[in-house]
Amino acid sequence: MSLQVHWTAQARGDLLDIYLAIVIENRSAAQAVFDRLRARVSVLPDHPRLGPRRDDIRLGLRVLVERPYLLVYRLTPDFDDQRVARIDIIRVVDGRRDLARLL
């Protein structure tokens, strides 16, 4: 059975906000950013531990980078010796922001 990625409502909202902010200026650029972010997440079922742990932001979070954005996610469980049962995308944020404050 393939591991599935679950998007929280907040993460889906973040993705929509990013798209809407860009589409005002350039529809094709907005679609390209949307596609890049979705493609980056698509590797997680096969490589869930790809993003480094970022316990400095909040315990249990991992981050994938798709510049300038960060895809913040959590694994359940997140122990190196256990099989991952669930991947949750928590937020999609601009990496230039104060992450500790956002999360």
Per-residue model confidence as pLDDT tens digits over 22-77: 999 999 999 999 999 999 999 999 999 999 999 988 899 999 999 999 999 999 99
CA distance 73 to 95: 14
Question: Fold for domain 5-102?
Answer: YaeB-like fold (3.30.2310)
Domain boundaries, the chain: 5-102
Q: Cα-Cα-Cα-Cα dihedral of 7, 9, 11, 16, to 10°?
A: 110
Give pLDDT, residue 103: 63
Give pLDDT, residue 1: 52
Give pLDDT, residue 99: 65
* Phi, psi dihedrals of residue 91, rounded to the nearest 5°: -150, 160
The pairs formed by 75-79 with CB atoms below 8 angstroms and a separation of 24 or more are 75/48, 75/49, 78/53
Mean of pLDDT values over 94-98: 76
- The length of the chain in residues reads 103
